[in-house]
């Protein structure tokens, strides 16, 4: 699940980077919008670092017992659903352009 989350986060970062670059979308997350306004590549680097961190957690999951606890798994499923809905919105504007 963390591996999928890392992939979806990176894909979201790339799609958002593209959409913002061509003025097709606006960033809704105030923190990420501030990073974008600071420098577009800072936005992308932070998104990719978060994906790398998730990948690291995935690789270390057997050594970090809290990752298997119910609240963490519940939050991970919720985050997955959020990213899937965001990527669905990305696909709508990409394919409607």
pLDDT of the residue at 38: 97
What local confidence, expressed as pLDDT, does residue 20 receive?
93
Who has greater pLDDT, 13 or 93?
13
Q: How far is residue 81's CA from residue 39's CA, in Å, rounded to a whole number?
A: 28
The four Cα atoms 59, 77, 27, 19 give a dihedral, to 10 degrees, of 70
Q: What are the domain boundaries of the chain?
A: 2-96
State the pLDDT confidence band at 97, using cuts at 50, 70 and 90: low
pLDDT (average), residues 61-79: 80
Side-chain half-sphere CA neighbours of 46 within 13 A: 14
The C-alpha atoms of residue 1 and residue 73 are separated, in whole angstroms, by 9
> Rounded to an integer, what distance in angstroms lies between the CA atom of residue 28 and that of residue 82?
13
pLDDT beyond 70 at 25: yes
């Amino acid at each position: 699940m963390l591996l999928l989350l890392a992939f979806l986060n990176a894909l979201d970062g790339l799609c958002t980077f593209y959409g913002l670059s061509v003025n097709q979308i606006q960033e809704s997350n105030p923190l990420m919008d501030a990073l974008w306004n600071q420098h577009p590549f800072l936005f992308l680097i932070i998104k990719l670092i978060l994906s790398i961190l998730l990948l690291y957690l995935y690789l270390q999951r057997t050594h970090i017992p809290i990752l298997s606890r119910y609240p963490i798994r519940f939050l991970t499923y919720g985050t997955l659903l959020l990213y899937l809905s965001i990527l669905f919105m990305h696909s709508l504007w990409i394919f409607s352009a």
